[in-house]
């Protein structure tokens, strides 16, 4: 039984394979947090400590660890719920009521001691991945309204201080820039106020106690939410570290009418002693098994960076023919196919096929794509509208805007008010029509600006995101085979909220293959490789990089191409074809395998990653700049079977002298080594040339 209730002590114990999480009900009815850490099977040992204040200035409610503290009484700490009743009372006071336990899930019900406000806390265990999911639901059982001023998904407590936080910062073209900072005393806040997800920060936390990739305590979690989020991390004066995550209460208030409920997004969290690597593999495994079921993601070609807005039926057909020659499986037409869309200034909202660009509609292109044996995908940006469009003229009140203020435009567009049922219907019907009239397998759903001017709609921060989820869900119910990519000016919608509805992420508009390595790395801390779209393109600020480096970088995720392949030479076409063929062979390892960020103590600036899956493993090695005098790098692989032999081919390293004398490079030598040797002694690899890269394929027993 992964979840147990110790009746005599009123204690809940939640076990995953390697961890235990415990909380209990004390004699005041408070839900007291007791433990989160390494697994403890002697559950009878758990007890609820007596409440004791340190002084009149350190009141018990403030220093006691609670599962879901509410605003009220002498609590000055972060609280998960803040409400205002119709009579003006703003202090909440809860008591435990009951619980329900079923297989891997637990529900605990709390209720206000006077008012008809109920809180349900729901926990789900993912045993093998050492993860717990939790969310909270608040229900108004009164005849009068209650205003919810803040509601978080939950509060967690780590029994340590002096932790290091790993998180991301960044902006458009620079998503997923990793930073690490030692927590001082005081609060660290990570948040988003943009209405939809942001490039600036991502809704996850990683806290470690001196961990490495392979070893050490790591506490981590992520919020399943694609909008305003807030994470507060605070080493408390009383020795522990508090983490609270949820929807950002910034500029947001919910009114619960009689009988209404609100459920927070889920937060998923875990603990490991196995370092950052185990953390990532647990999350990846969870995502693949629970959210990303279905076939391996196809190799796509997207024509955006080849043509930008200048799409034409004939040219797209030519691109499709070239793409299929190279082995592409999915052809995606991006922005520019609809309305009066020749730049970003017009068209959004008028979702008819542009008759000048496609005189006979989209179907001739789609038929051609299908006859070439590829799937067909299309770009939309359904939440937005450009001012000159018919949609805007007919429905000037469909946008978020404030009275007596000019509507904010950004990228020449405004955001549709998805809290209006007619807007939601319009978007659903638009996508439904598009899919009903065209043989479409893939949608790239974009959103190129944040929300502003929500005016009186103080619930919009929540309702907009819920509306997006609802539309995507309804569309997928009707078209179950359809894949939908979440994009928002690149990686502006990468989060577990999106992943619960969408199938792929566009990770960044920065397609520079070297920059992408850092983005891939930080992304991989939390998010699964299978959902990470990466393209080979012409548009980056190091245009003369070898095609091999571009392909190897993009092959680390779900491979795509975005080059203007009409300008490709015969050699480039042949080379691309070979890379795509090679990718298809190793795709199951990349998309379904265990992922490792390899550590190495060489001064060489190698970037090393490994995937293992069944009988095989892959090593990706990148070297941005090589020097003649540099020694090889010793690479210790991970996750192999110690007592099994693996065979592999590795580039032969030339000595500095041989390079000086111009001895031929590029030869491979085939070797067989045991897993134990590969993981402990390791292999020595020396790449040569700037932007050198290679993939080494290890196979058991050949």
**Per-residue contact track with ligand DGJ, 7 to 46, x per CB under 6 A?**
----------------------------------------
* Choice from 112, 133, 446, 515 touching ligand DGJ (CB under 6 A): 446
* Choice from 155, 489, 510, 693 touching ligand DGJ (CB under 6 A): 489
Task: Compute the distance between CA of residue 225 and CA of residue 495 in angstroms, rounded to an integer.
Answer: 7
* Choice from 509, 512, 594, 610 touching ligand DGJ (CB under 6 A): 509
Helices 570-592, 547-554: inter-axial angle, 10-degree rounding: 20
Nearer to ligand DGJ, 138 or 494 (CB): 494
CB of residue 216 to ligand DGJ, shortest distance in Å: 36
Interface segment toward ligand DGJ; rule CB under 6 A; list 50-58, 154-162, 484-492, 583-591 = 484-492
* Choice from 133, 234, 334, 485 touching ligand DGJ (CB under 6 A): 334
Catalytic residues: 446, 509
Q: How far is residue 346 CA from its own chain's centroid? A: 31
CB of residue 365 to ligand DGJ, shortest distance in Å: 18
CA proximity to 648, closest of 630, 673, 625: 673
With a CB cutoff of 8 Å and minimum separation 6, the contacts of 588 are 296, 613
Any contact of residue 287 with ligand DGJ (CB under 6 A)?
Answer: no
SS3 142: coil
210 burial via Cβ count (<10 Å: 0-12, 13-18, 19+): exposed
CB of residue 411 to ligand DGJ, shortest distance in Å: 8
Torsion angle of alpha carbons 500, 505, 507, 511, nearest 10°? 180
Any contact of residue 303 with ligand DGJ (CB under 6 A)?
Answer: no
CB of residue 310 to ligand DGJ, shortest distance in Å: 12
3-state helix, strand, coil in the chain (%, to 5): 25, 35, 45
Nearer to ligand DGJ, 205 or 506 (CB): 506
Any contact of residue 507 with ligand DGJ (CB under 6 A)?
Answer: no
Nearer to ligand DGJ, 386 or 489 (CB): 489
Angle at 558 between CA 652 and CA 626, to 5 degrees: 30
Task: Compute the distance between CA of residue 507 and CA of residue 333 in angstroms, rounded to an integer.
Answer: 18
Task: Compute the distance between CA of residue 416 and CA of residue 57 in angstroms, rounded to an integer.
Answer: 49
Bridge partners of 188, per DSSP, are 233
CB of residue 336 to ligand DGJ, shortest distance in Å: 8
Nearer to ligand DGJ, 136 or 488 (CB): 488
Any contact of residue 513 with ligand DGJ (CB under 6 A)?
Answer: no
Any contact of residue 448 with ligand DGJ (CB under 6 A)?
Answer: yes
CB of residue 108 to ligand DGJ, shortest distance in Å: 42
Nearer to ligand DGJ, 346 or 509 (CB): 509
Cβ contact 167:182 at 8 Å: no
Interface segment toward ligand DGJ; rule CB under 6 A; list 361-369, 455-463, 483-491, 578-586 = 483-491
Task: Compute the distance between CA of residue 134 and CA of residue 105 in angstroms, rounded to an integer.
Answer: 10
Nearer to ligand DGJ, 304 or 442 (CB): 304
Rg (Cα) of the chain, in Å, rounded?
Answer: 27
Helix (H) or strand (E) holding 505: strand 504-506
CB of residue 413 to ligand DGJ, shortest distance in Å: 10
Size of the site for ligand DGJ (CB under 6 A): 11
Task: Compute the distance between CA of residue 353 and CA of residue 215 in angstroms, rounded to an integer.
Answer: 55
Interface segment toward ligand DGJ; rule CB under 6 A; list 161-169, 231-239, 482-490, 522-530 = 482-490
Interface segment toward ligand DGJ; rule CB under 6 A; list 19-27, 207-215, 230-238, 486-494 = 486-494
- If you write DSSP's letter for every residue of 588-657 in order, what string do you get? HHHHHSEEEE-----SS--EEEEEEETTEEEEEEEESS--TTPPPEEE---S--TTSEEEEEEEPPPPHH
* Choice from 487, 536, 590, 640 touching ligand DGJ (CB under 6 A): 487
* Choice from 112, 175, 217, 335 touching ligand DGJ (CB under 6 A): 335
Nearer to ligand DGJ, 31 or 311 (CB): 311
CB of residue 99 to ligand DGJ, shortest distance in Å: 46
* Cα–Cα distances in angstroms (integers) from residue 166 to residues 19, 388, 522, 524, in the given order: 21, 44, 10, 13
Nearer to ligand DGJ, 66 or 334 (CB): 334
Nearer to ligand DGJ, 304 or 620 (CB): 304
In residues, how long is the chain? 702
Any contact of residue 498 with ligand DGJ (CB under 6 A)?
Answer: no
List the interface residues with ligand DGJ, window 367-396 (CB under 6 A).
379
Helical residues (DSSP H) of 347-459, grouped into ranges: 363-371, 390-394, 421-437
Token duo for residue 477: 């119910």
Q: Which residues bind ligand DGJ (CB under 6 A)?
A: 304, 334-335, 379, 446, 448, 487, 489-490, 506, 509
């Amino acid at each position: 039984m992964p979840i147990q209730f110790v009746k005599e002590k009123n204690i809940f114990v939640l076990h995953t394979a390697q961890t235990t999480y415990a909380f209990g009900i004390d004699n005041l009815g408070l839900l007291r947090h007791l433990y989160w850490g390494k697994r403890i099977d002697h559950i009878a040992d758990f007890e609820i400590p007596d409440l004791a204040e340190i002084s009149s200035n350190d009141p018990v409610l403030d220093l006691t660890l609670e599962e879901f503290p509410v605003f009220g009484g002498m609590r000055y700490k972060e609280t998960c719920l803040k409400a205002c009743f119709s009579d003006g009372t703003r202090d909440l006071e809860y008591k435990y009521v009951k619980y329900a336990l079923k297989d891997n899930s637990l529900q605990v019900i709390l209720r206000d001691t006077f008012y008809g406000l109920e809180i349900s806390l729901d926990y789900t265990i993912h045993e093998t991945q050492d993860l717990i999911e939790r969310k909270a639901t608040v229900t108004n059982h009164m005849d009068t309204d209650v205003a919810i001023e803040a509601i978080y998904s939950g509060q967690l407590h780590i029994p340590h201080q002096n932790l290091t936080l790993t998180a991301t910062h960044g902006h458009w073209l620079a998503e997923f820039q990793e930073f690490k900072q030692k927590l001082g005393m005081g609060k660290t806040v990570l948040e988003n106020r943009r209405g939809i997800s942001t490039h600036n920060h991502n809704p996850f936390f990683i806290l470690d106690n001196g961990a490495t990739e392979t070893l050490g305590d790591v506490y981590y979690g992520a919020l399943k939410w694609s909008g305003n989020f807030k994470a507060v991390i605070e080493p408390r004066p009383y020795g522990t570290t508090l983490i609270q995550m949820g929807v950002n209460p910034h500029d947001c208030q919910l009114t619960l009418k009689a009988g209404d409920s609100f459920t927070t997004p889920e937060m998923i969290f875990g603990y490991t002693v196995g370092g950052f690597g185990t953390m990532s593999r647990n999350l990846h495994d969870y995502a693949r098994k629970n959210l990303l079921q279905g076939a391996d993601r196809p190799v796509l070609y997207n024509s955006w960076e080849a043509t930008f807005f200048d799409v034409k039926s004939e040219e797209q057909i030519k691109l499709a023919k070239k793409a299929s020659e190279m082995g592409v499986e999915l052809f995606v037409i991006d922005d520019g196919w609809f309305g009066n869309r020749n730049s970003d200034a017009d068209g959004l909202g008028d979702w008819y096929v542009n008759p000048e660009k496609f005189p006979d509609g989209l179907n001739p292109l789609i038929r051609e794509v299908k006859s070439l044996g590829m799937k067909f995908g299309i770009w939309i940006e359904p939440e937005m509208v450009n001012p000159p469009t018919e949609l805007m003229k007919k429905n000037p009140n469909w946008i978020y805007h404030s009275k007596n203020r000019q509507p904010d435009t950004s990228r020449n567009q405004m955001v549709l008010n998805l809290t209006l049922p007619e807007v939601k219907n319009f978007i659903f019907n638009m996508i439904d029509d598009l899919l009903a009239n065209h043989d479409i397998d893939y949608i790239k759903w974009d959103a190129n600006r944040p929300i502003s001017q929500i005016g009186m709609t103080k619930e919009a921060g929540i309702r907009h995101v819920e509306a997006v989820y609802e539309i995507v869900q309804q569309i997928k119910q009707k078209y179950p085979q359809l894949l939908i990519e979440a994009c928002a000016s690149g990686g502006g919608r990468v989060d577990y909220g999106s992943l619960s509805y969408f199938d792929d992420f566009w990770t960044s508009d920065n397609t520079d293959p070297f920059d992408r390595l850092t983005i891939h790395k930080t992304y991989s801390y939390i998010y699964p490789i299978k959902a990470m779209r990466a393209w080979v393109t012409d548009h980056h600020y190091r245009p003369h990089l070898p095609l091999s480096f571009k392909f190897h970088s993009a092959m680390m995720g779900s491979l795509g191409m975005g080059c203007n392949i009409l300008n490709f030479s015969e050699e480039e076409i042949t080379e691309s074809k070979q890379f795509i063929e090679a990718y298809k062979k190793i795709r199951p390892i990349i998309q379904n395998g265990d992922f490792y960020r390899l550590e190495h103590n060489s001064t060489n600036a190698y970037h090393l990653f490994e995937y293992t899956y069944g009988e095989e493993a892959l090593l990706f090695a990148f070297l941005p700049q090589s020097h003649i005098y540099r020694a090889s790098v010793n690479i210790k692989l991970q996750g192999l079977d110690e007592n099994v032999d693996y065979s592999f081919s590795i580039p032969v390293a030339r000595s500095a002298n041989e390079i000086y004398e111009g001895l031929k490079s590029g030869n491979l030598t085939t070797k067989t080594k045991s897993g134990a040797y590969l993981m402990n002694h390791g292999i020595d690899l020396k790449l040569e040339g700037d932007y050198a890269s290679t993939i080494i394929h290890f196979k058991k027993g050949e």
